[in-house]
Amino acid sequence: MKFKVLVLTMYCGESEFKKCCLEVKKQKNVIIKHKIVKNKEELDAHQVLFDYWNKNRSKYDYLVKLDADTILASDYIIYKICKIFKKNKNLTGLQVGLKDYYTNCLIAGLACYSSKISFKIPEDKLFCDRVEEIGGELNYKPNDLLELYPAGYHCKNPSNFQSFHFGFRRYRKNQMEIIRKLKDAFLEYKDDPRRFALVGVLAAAKEVNITNTSYNNLNFKELFRKYEKKIKNLDISDEELLVWRQSRNKLRLENIINFFRKN
């Protein structure tokens, strides 16, 4: 009997979306329902998706949360994930590593769950993807499943706006190790997507009044156009992006993060 899998995806203009959906359709040895929520703000989209799972999880064996900017690496990857769950009855959640374009490294991007799990509906605007699991037991992390790496490719062909959004969010979430790897990759390749990601980091530090970073937020789109113009006019140099350092005041940074989580 084939595994029944619900794949949940949020879409808001990501350039990899068509390829993302195509690879889902190509998955072998599984029965998949691909539910897509389009053009909602990030918190709203997460609330819709997790609420749908909570109400319908009895119809499925497993859940795969697949971002619209992620392309699965093989036709059998979801089947392989299901088999890992099947082998361990106590396993209720796992994350499989993706190959990330921006950092050129492994990232924890493909989250999967058994139908034992339900979720507390998120309210945190900044960390709405980090939800509280109800009924969880054993969880595997990407380093536990290196035989499946890469399960997919994150942001394989991103737009400049996507890249700006990526960098902006990494800073707001205080993910400084990712920013460091992003800088290292940009130093090696000097490509536009990583350049715009670093511009997003810079903008996040300077534009403290921007609280809504959803793709479809008009103020955030206007902010991108402002910094896109700066790049075209050479008002921001590559050297500035590489030598810039975040605030060393940890308390101030924590206060900024808490502010954006609540507003």
Taking only the tens place, the pLDDT of each residue in 31-52 is 999 999 999 988 898 999 999 9
153 neighbors 101 (Cβ within 8 angstroms) = yes
pLDDT greater at residue 247 or residue 184: 184
Looking at residue 209, what is its pLDDT? 85
What mean pLDDT comes out for the span 127-152?
Answer: 91
Q: How far are the Cα atoms of 7, 40, 227 from residue 131, in angstroms, in the given order?
A: 17, 18, 32
The pLDDT assigned to 244 comes to 62
- The average pLDDT across 53-63 equals 98
Residue with the bigger pLDDT between 42 and 161: it is: 161
pTM of the model: 0.89
Query: How far from 33 is each of 4, 6, 53, 61, 64, CA to CA, in Å?
Result: 8, 5, 12, 12, 10
What long-range pairs does 217-226 form, CB within 8 A, spacing at least 24? Answer: 217/41, 220/165, 221/161, 224/160, 224/161, 224/164, 224/165
Residue 123, pLDDT score? 81
Q: What band does 155 get if pLDDT is binned at 50, 70 and 90?
A: very high
Q: Whole-angstrom Cα distance, residue 139 to residue 149?
A: 17
Q: How far is CA 90 from CA 80, 130, 139, 161, 193, in A?
A: 17, 21, 9, 41, 41
State the Cα–Cα distance between residues 72 and 203, nearest whole angstrom: 31
- Per-residue tokens: 56: 């319908």
| Separation of alpha carbons 93 and 116, rounded Å | 9
Q: Which residues is 110 bridged to in the sheet? A: 96
Per-residue model confidence (pLDDT) at position 186 = 96
CB crowding 221-232: b at 16 or more within 10 Å, else e: eebbeebeeebe
Q: What pLDDT sits at residue 245?
A: 58
- Which domains can be identified in the chain, with CATH numbers? 3-154 (3.90.550.10), 160-262 (no CATH)
